[in-house]
Amino acid sequence: MKGFRDWVFSQILSNSLISSTPLSGSSSYYSEGHQEGEHNEQGSANSTASLVLSDTSNSSHGNQSDQHNATVQQVSDTENSEPQQYANGRRKDTLAKVEDLQVKFLRLLQRLGQSQHNVLVAKVLYRMHLATLIRAGESDLKRVNLSSSRARTIASQQETTGIPELDFSCRILVLGKTGVGKSATINSIFDQAKTITDAFRPATNSIQEVTGTINGLNITFIDTPGFLPSSASNVRRNKRIMLSVKRFIRKSPPDIVLYFERLDLISAGYIDVPLLKLMTEVFGAAIWFNTILVMTHSSSAIPEGPDGYTINYGSYISQCTYLMQQHVHQAVSDSRLENPVLLVENHPQCPKNIVGEKILPNGQVWRSQLLLFCICTKVLGDVNNLVKFENSLELGPASSARIPSLPHLLSSLLRHRRVPNLSGIDDEIEEILRSEDIEEDEYDQLPSIRILRKSEFEKLSKQQKKDYLDEIDYREALYLKKQLKEDYHRRKEKLLLKEQKIMNHDHSDDQQAPPEPVLLPDMAVPPSFDSDCPIHRYRCLVVDDQLIVRPVHDPQGWDHDVSFDGINLETATEVKENVYASVAGQMNKGKQDFNLQSECAAAYLDPHGPTYSIGVDVQTAGKDLVCTIHSNTILRNIKHNIADCGVSLTSFAKKYYVGAKVEDTVLVGNRLKFVMSAGLMEGPGQGAYGGSFEATLRGEDYPVRNDNLTLIMTVLSFNKEMVLSGNLQSEFRLSRSLRATVSANLNSRKMGQINIKMSSSEHLQIALVAFFSIFKALSRRRATKNSVKEVMD
């Protein structure tokens, strides 16, 4: 059975009869649960119809056999429906109801004089057969294969005897501008004056139902007041009419929607796109799934072409059909939907055939064609409701925003965040300085040294040069350590002074002169042909208010250009005692895009207790915003141990993701550090879990120099799949002017990489490696082009 269903699905998706014009769709846009403004916010709609009949404007052309193509959208198999109602003392299952509907459809075809070999009829019967095949069980396959021939026999017998009576009804909603012929078309279909018409002024002033019977088919038209052409004064009136229509059809939704336009007035500038957009806004984009475009006055004179000769009727109809469908695409912001187009002529002098039916210039009987389309649409909608197929088709502009990856959000949550403070010193460095507080400073115990000039240094031997440079490096490291310790002592004394003032109730402030502004280092500007260097444009000063605002330089900018790519802002301030706040952000604005990244955080630092922090991160992702609110608590209750726990809430595209983490850091001396962390991130219907263990061995001169060796083991579980990975990173100095960075990683999927990076200020021969890489890349590209050329030949 599973193989058979796979075959059926393949037939649906790869059917040779393909078209993109849906005729039947869902009526979900009439449901009472939808609010009027819902579709306006979403810009899209959902259709629950799965079997969709498609047809290109067949009424516009005489060669139906060449232009009728079919498509069936993918249908998803659902659970078996519950027992249905009882009739005539026995329970009817879903297949029996579909068979009864098929019999009714064949009886209606006989009454309308339509052949069962009609291409449009064959499409409907084919889809009904596919629906029953997917729904049927193994025991019902033989019954389904025999149902088509049996339905034809039963329909012929029932239509001959007239028993039972044919019970089939159809509700049709009529929309369009005033004066396009909506009421006149209703009268032509019933062949009698059911509604009042007027050629000079609007005749329909209120919503009314027009009911009648045609060959045993009960048809109810919902005639509506006509819309006015879009303008600033008419928008409110048109919207008021649409809202009243929406309220009227809410209790009893229609099966089909007919939208009217005049064929003789269609041009590139006449079709009212703002009116179509207003319909989409009020009724929702799903209204177009059930809509048939009707062009009245189809026997009017055809305009002349550019050469002065009358355009061919078929070519003119094709041009107008394409124009109308393009304007619908523009209103819905989706080009996948193509509504069928029917031609109508209501003039009393319209030519008729021998039976008395009005015909178009192409010889087509439009009345029977319109009724056939309505019946096919109604039947397919009933089949969808019976077999309870569910499918979601979203109309509207394609969303370019990507759904955030839960593993990425989890890794961002597990990332260590610095607590905002004015010193800028990390918690771990402060813990090391606190442990070394009682140690005596080594730098002050060193003897003095004379700095050699360049000429004196050149006179030294090779070994003496090495010893001299090692001594300078050693003294430099001790001096930087001394500066860190002095800064730590200075902040500690300031904190003690504040506490003493609070205890003594002394609120006097010492008046100190503000520090002088400090010039930031110059930016790296690319080479230019200008005679003067424009580096002065990017210079910035740092003043006492802790606010740094500087431009973001675009290294790929044009020559003679300012090359400002954005603005960067950083600030940190002490809001009140032990409460700090920081803001860092960057804004980039171009002609086509706008990017924003910002991190705002506030923290309360208890000198003898935990640290509490909260922050908000905002960044742009296409036209959407990714907003993350996170909170952390840092505990230092045990010496050489820092515990951290936090939670986060991320909002993106009206979806929310909640995460939590715990982290513990253990410091063994000043050089060895162990970090263990675990966290989870959950979103709509999915979750990601992970953890990591990190061991870091630092160099002897830490925190002055960042020589380190780090081993990281990570485990991640997402979508019932677990991935283990290992990462090795190392950064060290090979010599005074040469540094190296090595990183390697490998995961359980047997994927990994190795990166080696070296930087030097003296050994320029290392740059030759870049020439080798560039040459290899160019050779590979040339070989690829040659192979492609050979294949093309």
Condensed to tens digits (0 to 9), the pLDDT of residues 769-782 reads 667 777 777 777 77
Average pLDDT over residues 602-606: 88
- Report the C-alpha gap between 274 and 586 in whole angstroms: 38
Residue 424 confidence class, pLDDT cut points 50, 70, 90: low
Q: What is the pLDDT of residue 532?
A: 64
DSSP 95-141: HHHHHHHHHHHHHHHHHHT--TT-HHHHHHHHHHHHHHHHH--GGGH
Residue 48 has φ and ψ, to the nearest 5°, of -100, 5
Average pLDDT over residues 368-379: 88
Give the three-state DSSP class for 792. helix
- Report the C-alpha gap between 618 and 612 in whole angstroms: 21
Average pLDDT over residues 532-537: 67
Q: Are strands 752-760 and 655-668 parallel, antiparallel or unpaired?
A: unpaired
Map tokens 């009206």 to a residue. 654
Q: What is the pLDDT of residue 533?
A: 64
SS3 of 10-57: the string is HHHHCCCCCCCCECCCCCHHHCCCCCCCHHHHHCCEEECCCCCCECCC
Q: What is the pLDDT of residue 646?
A: 93
Q: What is the pLDDT of residue 49?
A: 36
For 741, other C-beta atoms within 10 Å of its C-beta total 13
Give me the torsion for CA of 553, 554, 556, 557, rounded to 10°: -90
Give me the torsion for CA of 457, 459, 461, 462, rounded to 10°: 50
Share of the chain above pLDDT 90, in %: 17
Nearby residues of 96 by Cβ (< 8 Å), 6 or more positions away: none
Q: Is the model's pLDDT at 232 over the cut of 80?
A: yes
For 131, other C-beta atoms within 10 Å of its C-beta total 25
Inter-residue contact 285 to 339 (CB < 8 Å): no
Entry field: residues in the chain: 793
What amino acid is encoded at 209 in this protein?
E
Q: What is the pLDDT of residue 631?
A: 93
Tell which wins on pLDDT, 12 or 310: 310
Inter-residue contact 641 to 633 (CB < 8 Å): no
- Residues 141-192 have pLDDT tens digits of 666 665 677 888 888 888 888 788 888 889 999 999 988 888 999 999 988 8
- Residues 308-347 have pLDDT tens digits of 788 888 888 888 888 888 888 888 888 888 888 999 998 8
Average pLDDT over residues 617-641: 86
Residue 380 confidence class, pLDDT cut points 50, 70, 90: confident
Inter-residue contact 336 to 20 (CB < 8 Å): yes
What amino acid is encoded at 296 in this protein?
T
Nearby residues of 108 by Cβ (< 8 Å), 6 or more positions away: 166, 168, 215, 216, 217, 375
Residue 630 confidence class, pLDDT cut points 50, 70, 90: very high
Give the least confident one: 52-66, 224-238, 279-293.
52-66
Give the least confident one: 570-579, 597-606, 626-635.
570-579
Residue 663 confidence class, pLDDT cut points 50, 70, 90: very high
Q: How far is CA 246 from the centre of its chain?
A: 30
Average pLDDT over residues 589-611: 84
Prior bond of 164 cis (ω within 30°): yes
Q: What is the pLDDT of residue 482?
A: 78
- Report the C-alpha gap between 698 and 428 in whole angstroms: 12
Instruction: Work out the mean pLDDT of the chain and round it to a whole number.
Output: 76
Q: What is the pLDDT of residue 649?
A: 94
- Report the C-alpha gap between 304 and 327 in whole angstroms: 23
Q: Is the model's pLDDT at 602 over the cut of 50?
A: yes
- Residues 19-29 have pLDDT tens digits of 333 333 333 33
Most confident of 391-395, 420-424, 438-442, 608-612: 608-612
Average pLDDT over residues 54-60: 41
Q: What is the pLDDT of residue 243?
A: 93
Q: What is the pLDDT of residue 677?
A: 93
Average pLDDT over residues 604-611: 83
* Class of residue 137 by CB neighbours under 10 A (exposed 0-12, middle 13-18, buried 19+): exposed
CA 117, 123, 129, 130 dihedral sign is positive
Average pLDDT over residues 408-435: 69
Q: What is the pLDDT of residue 110?
A: 85
Q: What is the pLDDT of residue 48?
A: 35
Q: Which helix (H) or strand (E) holds 589?
A: strand 579-589
Q: What is the pLDDT of residue 767?
A: 64
- Residues 675-724 have pLDDT tens digits of 999 999 998 888 899 999 999 998 877 777 778 899 999 999 988 889 99
Q: Is the model's pLDDT at 50 over the cut of 50?
A: no
Q: What is the pLDDT of residue 406?
A: 86
Q: Is the model's pLDDT at 409 over the cut of 90?
A: no
